[in-house]
Amino acid sequence: MINSSLKQLGDLLQTKKISSVELTQTFLNRIQQYNPSINAYIALDEARTIAQAKAADERIASGNAMPLTGVPFAQKDIFCAKGWQTTCGSKMLANFIAPYDAHVITQFDTAGAVNLGKTNMDEFAMGSSNETSYFGGVKNPWSFDRVPGGSSGGSAAAVAARLCAAATGTDTGGSIRQPASLCGFTGLKPTYGVVSRFGMIAFASSLDQAGPMAKSAEDCALMMNVMAGFDERDSTSLNREKEDYTRDLNKPLQGLKVGLPKEYFSEGLDTNVGKVIEAAIAEYKKLGAEIVDISLPNTGLSIPVYYVLAPAEASSNLSRYDGVRYGHRAAEYTDLMDMYNKSRAEGFGAEVKRRILIGTYVLSAGYYDAYYLKAQQIRRLIAQDFVEAFKQCDVIMGPAAPSTAFKAGEKVDDPVAMYLQDIYTISTNLAGLPGMSVPAGFAQSDDGVSLPVGLQIIGNYFDEARMLNVAHKYQQVTDWHERMPELVLPKEAK
């Protein structure tokens, strides 16, 4: 049951072969067994979760079920969920109980889904390894001494270890796709504006976007049907007609033009990861795809541009944490200014402080033109690269991350090495484009451990249904997305 697709689970629930309470309890038992070592969940509330499952069973009995009614999900702790501890991985919000629901949470509630708990994450979504979390690191279920990726590391580990049916994540520069690659599951960052950011704690508002983290493309499509949609409470939410993201899943791929950017296959890419990606491309050729060589010439500028713009926006967004209204307040202080200073000094971790400093600097008078404005101009050029590329192909493919999961502690003291984890994902955020990571096989690490690799698929604006189709067809002829980590296999499956 723990490896079933969302569609299978929905069918089992609606034909009453299982109840939501049973299914939910199965996952809660696994969480009890594995979470103490993996640290994927940072807030659990069994009574609340079971009450939701009971309500779902009643709804199914009354004949009002929707496709995901009764299915248990994990929610990244960046989403405000009424009555739940909502920390964003920070000491600053460690005592914060959200008084309202994020749009994404409301959408899952309306669908009758069950909330298993809140998942661990890098502090304020800043990181690529989950090691900046105030609540400690998360273990990669494929190899416990390695990181799950970040910032959605808790959701990633929960999906990979089958501690939920699927999970939500957010992606500002790669935080859905990089962990999906490192943990071996399917993750989608939608076009900017497709999923409302209301109630999603802001990091860099012009880049932040929520998306599904699940076993398969079909699961992601079903979740997109729940998550996407106009919301007037987010001024950047797009007012578009509601889509059925499953509509194209089974279309043949004959004649699909796949662009391979030369910049994604050059220096910096682990050789073994490169081989897995090449094998995946070969599989696409068998499925009828045509390969086109393309170029995204400004790829190399995406990391520097992002590390001006994202910290600039973060420094502004995080100015609200001042110890006055909510969040951490220092116990002792002399006056108001001292209270601000001490509360922020104690409440934020080192990486968050680094970003606030950079952001404040690039926005300051005298440096604004040289850094912030220049970065905005290059952002436009990066977006333009994709406009040109999509004149030649339907989708772009390449690696989602330059390496497999690295060891905990390996990059924490080298921020630039950590930032390079997103070299293949960040430019899609800067352009506002959708991107996904799909399990494509396993590569050997230097010390001989076999670890998952994700194939990235980048689509044109609003082309999620096609990307999901492209991923789904591949998943029908491969089984990478069904593999489970040995370390967390139930006894009967071993």
Q: Which residues lie near ligand GLN (CB under 6 A)?
A: 125-128, 151, 171-175, 203, 310, 422
| Tokens linked to 74 | 């994990």
Cis check: omega of the bond before 151, within 30 degrees of 0: yes
Half-sphere exposure of 247 (CA within 13 A, CB side): 9
Between 53 and 423, whose beta carbon lies closer to ligand GLN?
423
Q: What are phi and psi of 422, to 5 degrees?
A: -100, 15
Pairing type for strands 72-76 and 114-119 reads parallel
Between 41 and 203, whose beta carbon lies closer to ligand GLN?
203
Shortest approach of ligand GLN to residue 13 CB, angstroms?
33
Between 126 and 221, whose beta carbon lies closer to ligand GLN?
126
d(CA 429, CA 449): 31
Count of all residues that appear for the chain in the document:
494
Segment (H or E) for 308: helix 302-317
Name 430's Cβ contacts closer than 8 Å, sequence gap at least 6: 207, 302, 305, 306, 309, 379, 382, 383
Shortest approach of ligand GLN to residue 124 CB, angstroms?
9
d(CA 426, CA 430): 6
Catalytic residues: 76, 151, 175
Shortest approach of ligand GLN to residue 351 CB, angstroms?
8
d(CA 66, CA 190): 22
Between 69 and 75, whose beta carbon lies closer to ligand GLN?
75
Strand arrangement of the beta sheet that strand 186-189 belongs to: 41-43, 114-119, 72-76, 166-170, 210-214, 186-189, 435-444, 450-459, 395-399, 257-261, 290-294
Between 288 and 409, whose beta carbon lies closer to ligand GLN?
409
Between 89 and 327, whose beta carbon lies closer to ligand GLN?
89
Shortest approach of ligand GLN to residue 104 CB, angstroms?
15
Shortest approach of ligand GLN to residue 310 CB, angstroms?
6
Shortest approach of ligand GLN to residue 447 CB, angstroms?
24
d(CA 8, CA 232): 34
Between 311 and 439, whose beta carbon lies closer to ligand GLN?
311
| Tokens linked to 133 | 């979390």
Closest by alpha carbon to 327, among 78, 123, 92? 92
Between 173 and 452, whose beta carbon lies closer to ligand GLN?
173
Alpha helices in 133-232 (DSSP H): 153-160, 177-183, 217-227
Shortest approach of ligand GLN to residue 26 CB, angstroms?
30
Shortest approach of ligand GLN to residue 392 CB, angstroms?
28
d(CA 69, CA 62): 12
Integer angstrom CA distances of residue 132 from 36, 117, 129, 366, 408 = 19, 20, 8, 31, 11
Pairing type for strands 395-399 and 210-214 reads unpaired
